[in-house]
Amino acid sequence: MKGTIFNLLLFTFICIPCIYGRDVTSFNDGWLFKKGPFNDSRSLLSTDHTGGKWEEVTIPHTWNAEDMQTAMANMSGFRNPQSRFYTGKAMYKKTYSPGASLKDNRIFLRFGGVGSVAEVYVNNQFAGRHQGAYSAFVIEIGRLLDFGTENEIIVVADNSERPDVAPVNNVLFGVYGGIYRDVSLIVTEKVGIAVTDYASSGIYISQDNVTSKSANVNIKVKLDNKTGMKQHAQLVTAIYEMDGKRIKMKKETPVELLPQGRHFAEHDFILSNPRLWQGLDDPYLYKVVVRLILDGRVVDEVIQPLGLRRFELKTGDGMYLNGKKTPMYGVCRHQDWWGLGSALTRKEHDTDLAIIKEMGATTIRLAHYQQAEYIYARCDSIGFIVWAEIPFVNSVSTLESENAKQQLTELIRQNYNHPSIYTWGLHNEVYAPYEQTIALTTELNDLAKTEDPYRYTVSVSGYNKVDAIANNNADIQGINHYFGWYGGKTSDIKNWVEKVEKDFPDHKIIFSEYGGEANINQQKEDAGEVGDCCGFDRKYYETFATRFHEIQWGVISRHPKLLASYIWNAFDFGTPVSSQGGVHSRNMKGLATFDRKIKKDPFYWYKANWSKEPVLYLTQRRAVNRENEYTPVTVYSNIGAPRLYVNGMEIKDYSEGTTAVHYIFNSIKLIQGENIVEVKAAYGGKTYSDRIVWNYSPDNKSGTGGSRPVERTEEHIGL
């Protein structure tokens, strides 16, 4: 597989025919796996460890796909991870036989992600180490290979909690162990575009003064010369239209590459009448093709995306994309799936993005760590506006500073060219010791601004205080708060927002997390405004979460002081050290279930409010067994006033809820036994309808978790 094709896989580009000097092939197959613990008193590569029984696996792979998702936490809330799920060392090995013709080339292994500390050995010789579960890294192995014969490659992965590697614990989410993202073998000539620049593309595309009339584009390229002699080469940069055929602009300059150090070359462009990247409305991507030519031959080529855009967050107003006000309808996304953990393929990534797009979201917070390269590339091509962040989260050890800086550098350099990203996240809910948090966040902010002065930075507080001491060390302050779930009532958000507007008129503020747990097997007709948090024996009613979101979005939508808001979370996810709401090791604040099979009622609330697609939806469809003879019926409709029929009789009187799509039919009388509830609405020459069945009996007891869904096929695994 050639270099350009590799870049196409990352950035979904169309191949431009040419001759390449870089070969990139998948290195996912043929691995053997052995899980520890190992006897550390002996050499890790001793025959005691490398012999014996191995399991055949295919990358992506994690050893925690089951135990981190089903672990039974102790009820005190404290943790003893080794007794419930495995964290520690495991080994992967594979053989590789490079041909003798490759002896004069440079050979690298590129890992998309290993949880969380990786050591790579070639023929029992140390090749490199990487600390951090979520960023890609590159190890050059050519000097350790024997060409023309078989070589053994061993990767030792270790996902033990460490105070010097962020995240320092598994409290908010589990760090899945393993080689859980793709591995690639990269072969280049001795002269080429840098491969080992924090596993980046070696190319940095900056843009300024972007308008529909013109845009300034600077393209910086990092080059290596390992021949031992001075080389005279040509650097050619072409900017192609999205079809990959028409050239918008092209430049060629000679470059002199000395045999020492790394070299930097730049091309500046002024593009006239550019087509702008306009989010979901028009995610137009140019293709930047950089080639290095030596003696008339292309020795290297890399393709990167170019989406021309200008982000501007206006205090108290909102996001302006290329001068056009753009709604920031946001969700957060954890990467793990039920039964798979973090070892995902493109199918799972595409499914997540399709669900988020269906909902009508315009922006995604990829929390709480760097996610797969494919996700950022697809966000570019779909048009989502992205918040990307590092896992400096939850706790401060005072030993994580250097690793946090490393992970931020990797995040920025590896994703610098993705136009979808508007801000870099520096920390999430980290506090005491405040001296460490403030100092490190300030250093991270300076680092981010040095690496990328063109984007915003953000840090996040878990308190609903804008002037919290640990924050305001970045461009934007995010506030995580769960009114009605972790204290107070759901409607308390209104007084808080109004006070923020009054007291902090000059602050850029994002409501970075809000939500409520929803176990689809726990239902109650009226769950009130205070959630039943927190504990395994508590009831996490879906009906509570539905009302929670109805109230909170009703407030958020009316207050532009909140420049963006992000629902926590798009999907249920694993929390291996906690067991709540009747389910072990799971956070159920997702709008869809862990397996993505069921979209909860709040999902359709946001779809009705955000999406341009027609929505007509009856809520409480899983609260089948009713105990109240008189009940409200709630309908979400963005296609006008609905007509409600209960057992064939039309009900006409309704009131408007918290937004214009929220219709409430009050005091509907049910008959004993089965009740057919239908709703219809006409729109665009079509008639839309929805239908549910409720069973009423005064003997019913709601909230026991026994309610069955109307849709018989909606069986949710893992609950």
Element (H, E) at 406: helix 401-415
709: tokens are 């869904």
Is there a contact between 59 and 182 (Cβ–Cβ < 8 Å)? yes
176: tokens are 């899945």
Burial 500-536 (b: 16+ CB within 10 A, else e): beeebeebbbbbbbbbbbbbbbbbbbebeeebbbeeb
Is there a contact between 585 and 573 (Cβ–Cβ < 8 Å)? no
Element (H, E) at 35: strand 31-35
Q: How far apart are CA 677 and CA 418, in angstroms?
A: 47
Q: Torsion angle of alpha carbons 178, 182, 187, 193, nearest 10°?
A: -110
Is there a contact between 83 and 107 (Cβ–Cβ < 8 Å)? no
E strand spans, 372-505? 385-389, 421-428, 456-461, 476-480
Active-site choice (429, 513, 525, 542): 429
Q: How far apart are CA 249 and CA 218, in angstroms?
A: 13
Helix axes 401-415, 434-451, angle to 10 degrees: 30
E strand spans, 123-170? 125-131, 137-140, 151-158
Helix axes 601-610, 346-359, angle to 10 degrees: 60
CB neighbours of residue 48 within 10 Å: 12
Q: Three-state SS for 48?
A: helix
Q: How far apart are CA 10 and CA 61, in angstroms?
A: 20
526: tokens are 């009226």
CB neighbours of residue 226 within 10 Å: 14
Strand order in the sheet with 23-26: 23-26, 183-188, 106-111, 137-140
Is 627 among the residues known to form the active site?
no
Q: How far apart are CA 620 and CA 601, in angstroms?
A: 7
Element (H, E) at 299: strand 297-306
Q: According to the 3-state scheme, what is the secondary structure of 132-144?
A: CCCCCEEEECHHH
Q: How far apart are CA 173 and CA 258, in angstroms?
A: 47
Burial class, 100, CB count within 10 angstroms (exposed 0-12 / middle 13-18 / buried 19+): exposed
687: tokens are 């008639």
Q: Three-state SS for 304?
A: strand
Q: Three-state SS for 689?
A: strand
Q: Are strands 297-306 and 286-294 parallel, antiparallel or unpaired?
A: antiparallel
CB under 8 Å to 699, separation ≥6 — which residues?
627
Q: How far apart are CA 183 and CA 188, in angstroms?
A: 16
CB under 8 Å to 22, separation ≥6 — which residues?
2, 3, 6, 186, 187, 188, 189, 192, 193, 300, 301, 302
User: Could you tell me if residue 472 is left (phi over 0), alpha (psi between -120 and 50 degrees) or otherwise beta?
Assistant: left
Q: Three-state SS for 604?
A: helix
Q: Which residues are catalytic?
A: 429
